[in-house]
Structures are given as C-alpha cells and as structure tokens.
Structure 1
Amino acid sequence: MTAIPKEEYLLKCTSACAGCSSSLCLRYITKAAGPDTVLVVPACCTSVIQGMYPNTAMDIPVYNIAFAAAAACASGLSNAFRALRRETNVIVYAGDGGTVDIGIQALSGAFERGTDFLYICYDNEAYGNTGMQRSGATPLGARTTTTPGGKPTTKKDLDRIVEAHDPPYMATACSAYPLDLFKKVKKALSIRGPKFIHILAPCPPGWRYSAEKTIEMGKLAVKTGTWVLYEREYGNLTINGPSKAAIRKPAPLEDYIKGQGRFKGVTPAMLEQMRQQMQANITRLVREEEGIC
C-alpha cells in the first residue's frame, strides 16, 4: 500500500452511505489517475455522493451526464483533448444499471470506434441510487425491491460482451483489494485505446449486511470464486493472485451467501445452480489462461 500516493482527489464528507465500497474504489481510482483527469458520471450513486454544488467532494473535473450517454460523452471529450494534443485521462465511472442495461449501446459504440478512454463499471448488482431495483447485473436468487421473491434469472455476462469488442485491456477488480485495483487502473491508463475495468462493489443497504462488513464481503466473493480477479491484455488473460489461491482451494459458497439478507430464502436447487455457473466460469477462464480453446 505504500506505493499508493497520499494525494486525495475524493475529499472527505461525501454523501455516501456508511460502508460504501464504490466510494472507496473511486478514491483509489483517482489516486491512480492523478489530477489531469476528467470523470464522466452518468446517473448513479456517484451522482449523489459527490455532494451538491458548490460543495462537491471531488477535486477533479466531473461531467454529470444522462444515464445512457456516458460513453458517448467520453468519446467527444477524448477526441477533443487529443485534438488539442492533451493526454488528459478520460474515465467513465458508471454503475451496473448505466452499463449493463441503459448505457450498453453507447459503451459498445465507443469501443467499436476505438475511443481512447477508460470505462469503469462499479457493480453493486442493482439500481442502488433509486432504491435497489433489479438490474441485468443482479445475480440469480437475489432479492431486490422489484424481485422480492428472488431474481429468477442469471446475471448478464458483461465481461464477455466487452471481450467481444477485443479491447487492448480489460480487467476485473474488487473493492476489497485496493492495491490490485490501483495497479490495474495505472496499467489501463498507460495503454491507448478503449479500456474496461469491472469492479465488484458490495453495497450494505442493497445486499443487506452490516456496514462494517464491506471488505469482508468483497473478500468472500473472491475467496469463494464467485468473483474472479483477472486481466486481459491484448487478448492474453492472466488470473490474478487472490483468485489463483481461491481456485486451488475455494471457500464454501455458503459463506458468501449466508452473510447477505438479499439471498434469504434461496433454495438448495438455486444454490446448486449458482455453484454450477460459478464453476463453469472458473473453468472457462482457467482454460483460456492455459491456452486451451
């Protein structure tokens, strides 16, 4: 952690909930990016936690944009900066609702055009800013305000959608591993073209656990194999250290599930389906890393 700069670009007194892991992520992302950075933020929790003008908690420029338009806005900003011969970092910081669902067409377009920017999706697996409605990223069995009996369908595989665009760099991260996130943001910003980082960001009120357990919940996601940390650079995939250990000796999936009120009432059959999906994802990633098609 000594490698992380002491400068702060996300200041104290945000409007974030207690235990908010997405604001923790944003703190380390901005440290990695530095002051010559513009954030593009669509409608999401971050639109709120930055505070009300003129008392914003952000110490870098922020462009608040409509739900569906973040990546399109970033394309314009990036092209303008490059035309001025400026290397300003353009970073979209969007939730899963604004990425997996509402903003996916703009994301796809920006990647297809080869926009030089970094798109970061912080994924709390629901529409957190408006009361925790289900999103395309909500996992099987999770209770939200619009799936009170548990979501009957599986989580949309956003990473495979992005992978299909063949970006030069993409990665997964988790708020419980800030140094891993910091290094991935630094690497992404050193590469030209469209980059993507998908962060699992546990949410205390939405996932229904005590605020002091945010880091524990993120680590359990990784240790059980529910969330795999990896990076894919120019098509070459590397599974990162914490997940390598988890793949060799995973913690029981039940340890992750039982700590979250949103999974209350999950049936044994649904739990087994979740386990099979998790194992299929791990197997696919391991085979890719080993070069087995």
Structure 2
Amino acid sequence: MSGTSASEYICKCTSACAGCSSSLILRHVLKAAGPDTVLVVPACCTSVLQGVWPNTSFNIPVYNVAFAAAAAVASGMAAAFEAVGKNTNVIAYAGDGGTVDIGIQALSGALERDTNFLYICYDNEAYGNTGMQRSGSTPLGARTTTTPGGKTHAKKDLDRIIAAHHLPYMATACSAYPQDLVKKVQKALSIRGPKFMHILAPCPPGWRYDASQTIEIGKMAVKTGIWAMYEREYDTLTLSGPTKAAMIKPAPLEEYLKMQGRFSGMNEEKVKAIRGEMERNLRLLKAEAEGTC
C-alpha cells in the first residue's frame, strides 16, 4: 500500500488463532506507522499473540501493562519522548474490554490532558483472551460464556463518549478494509495531540464462524450498516465510502447475523431491536455529516 513500510513488524508464527483479524489489523497499523514506534499493550489477545518471553513475534518495542493502565502508561511515555525531543509514535493498542470497560477512566484522562498519542481499540465485542465473556461492547442478543441466552443490553456507545472530548482526530475502521484503515492511521499519526481509532475485529472462535470467513464477515458488518466507518476531526464528521453506500442500499442484516453462531436462536423481537439501534445510529451519523443535527 502507498506510503507504508516494506518491512514487517509482526513476524510469522504468532500465537494468534486462525483467522484472527486483530493481528491483521496490527500488521497494517505498524506498517503504516513505521519502525520509530512504541506499542503499549494492556491485558488482551495481543499480549498473548506476541509470544512467550524471551521470544516475540513483534519487531518493535512493546510494553505490556496492567489492564486499566494502557492510556496512562502511553501518556507518560509520550511526555518522556517529548522531553528529550523525540517524535516516536506512541500507540496504545487495546481490546474492547480494556477500553470500553476497564481502561475507560485512564483513556478519558489522557484525552483530557491532550496527550500526543494514538489510542486504538480493536473491538472483537467480548473479552476474547479469557474465554469470550460479555463486555460493554458486546452487541444485543450475542451469546457469550457469561450471556449464554444472549446479551440483554445494547452495546455501549464508545465513539460518542470519545467524541465528547473534542479530539483533533478520531476514526472508525474495519479489518476487512485495509486501505481505508492504513490511510486513517497515517492521517492520525500526522496530527499532533490525542487521536483515537475504533476498529472492528471479527473473532472466529468468539463469534462462532469458520476462520476462512473473517474478511467476509467484516465486510458484511459494514455493508449492513451495523458497523459504520467515518472520520471526525474535532466536531466535523465525514462518512467513509462503504458506509455511504450502506446507507443507500444496505445488505440484509439477517444475513450478517446468520453467519455467526453467537446470534443463533435469536427471535424476531431481538432482530427488530438490533435493527432499530443500527438505523438510529446511521440517522444520527448522516445528520451530523450533513450538518442538520
């Protein structure tokens, strides 16, 4: 891809599951960022897939930190680099459990302090590293090990919580659209101050689909509109092309749900509720992008 490093910063033979989209996301993120990058990783799937000391599958410095501390550690690291005049990219790379739930306090504090870093939440919509327990990011109706009958609450609206901090840049992306993802990472790293990206990361064992379908499911999430892609620069929102297309002619939501075992046995009432949440979100985003809200 244009502007990305030819080097690889994730080596072969990681400890990731087959079809893991979070490792695919990280490969693109690091190729966009380049070698002068430090990664801060809290407890999550990424802290496992990097390998067991003294070996590692990562070709850049990585700091493994406590579940709640990624943004706080990255904030201190960014201040230290600035104090010695270095422009090293500081990237916090955390799952939804460590962002939407456990790490949200430290994240909010770092954003409020105008920390010069990029925080990326790769969202597999559950606590994947510890057996797919329900997180605040798990969607309504999804079966997890702690919601075997399907989650009874809607997914937490993380992006509007982050938007309330009025960042210079935030964006959403999906592992199935790598060119869009890379461009957004490069743009984020070109801007000084706090940046945030929320990236959908389909998970074969947790979402209960065959590993070969990871890209197909990611694309379906965007084409149905259940996952919207956009950029927000301060308070100006721009919809990404695939989401604009989904607003005009969406793919069937039921088809997306049927592709995943976690939504098995869902009744029409739950499907209707999911559709209602999705359509409400798209209406709000469209109105914001058009300046009519």
Smaller-chain TM-score bracket: over 0.9
Q: Partners of 2:255 and 2:96 in 1: how far apart?
A: 24
The DSSP-based 3-state class of the residue aligned with 2:153 is coil
Please list the CA deviations of residues 94-120 of structure 1 after superposition, one character each: whole Å capped at 9, or x if unmatched: 000000000000000000111000000
Offset, 1:2: 5.2
Residue identity over aligned pairs, in percent, reads: 72
Asked if structure 1 preserves the Cα contact closer than 8 Å seen for 2:3 and 2:32, the reply is no
Return the letter of the residue paired with 1:247.
M
* Correspondence list, 1:1-293, <5 A: 1=1, 3-293=3-293
Q: RMSD across aligned C-alpha pairs, in angstroms? A: 0.7
TM, length-normalised to structure 2: 0.99
The DSSP-based 3-state class of the residue aligned with 1:32 is helix
Return the letter of the residue paired with 2:222.
V
Please list the CA deviations of residues 18-48 of structure 1 after superposition, one character each: whole Å capped at 9, or x if unmatched: 0000000000000011000000000000000
The DSSP-based 3-state class of the residue aligned with 1:63 is strand
Return the letter of the residue paired with 1:76.
G
Q: Partners of 2:2 and 2:38 in 1: how far apart?
A: 25
The DSSP-based 3-state class of the residue aligned with 1:197 is strand
Asked if structure 1 preserves the Cα contact closer than 8 Å seen for 2:176 and 2:219, the reply is yes
Offset, 1:62: 0.2
Offset, 1:175: 0.3
Return the letter of the residue paired with 1:288.
E
Quick check: 192-201 or 229-238, which moved more?
229-238
Offset, 1:6: 2.3
The DSSP-based 3-state class of the residue aligned with 2:94 is strand
Return the letter of the residue paired with 1:266.
M
Offset, 1:3: 5.0
The DSSP-based 3-state class of the residue aligned with 1:72 is helix
Offset, 1:54: 1.9
Q: Partners of 1:3 and 1:81 in 2: how far apart?
A: 24
Asked if structure 1 preserves the Cα contact closer than 8 Å seen for 2:14 and 2:50, the reply is yes
The DSSP-based 3-state class of the residue aligned with 1:19 is coil
Asked if structure 1 preserves the Cα contact closer than 8 Å seen for 2:5 and 2:34, the reply is no
The DSSP-based 3-state class of the residue aligned with 1:129 is helix
Offset, 1:241: 0.8
Please list the CA deviations of residues 180-230 of structure 1 after superposition, one character each: whole Å capped at 9, or x if unmatched: 110000000000110000000000000000000000000000000000110
Return the letter of the residue paired with 2:11.
L
The DSSP-based 3-state class of the residue aligned with 2:165 is coil
TM, length-normalised to structure 1: 0.99
Q: Partners of 1:3 and 1:258 in 2: how far apart?
A: 38
Offset, 1:5: 3.2
The DSSP-based 3-state class of the residue aligned with 1:285 is helix
Return the letter of the residue paired with 2:116.
D
Structure 2 gap ranges (5+): none
Asked if structure 1 preserves the Cα contact closer than 8 Å seen for 2:4 and 2:34, the reply is no
Q: Partners of 1:208 and 1:5 in 2: how far apart?
A: 34
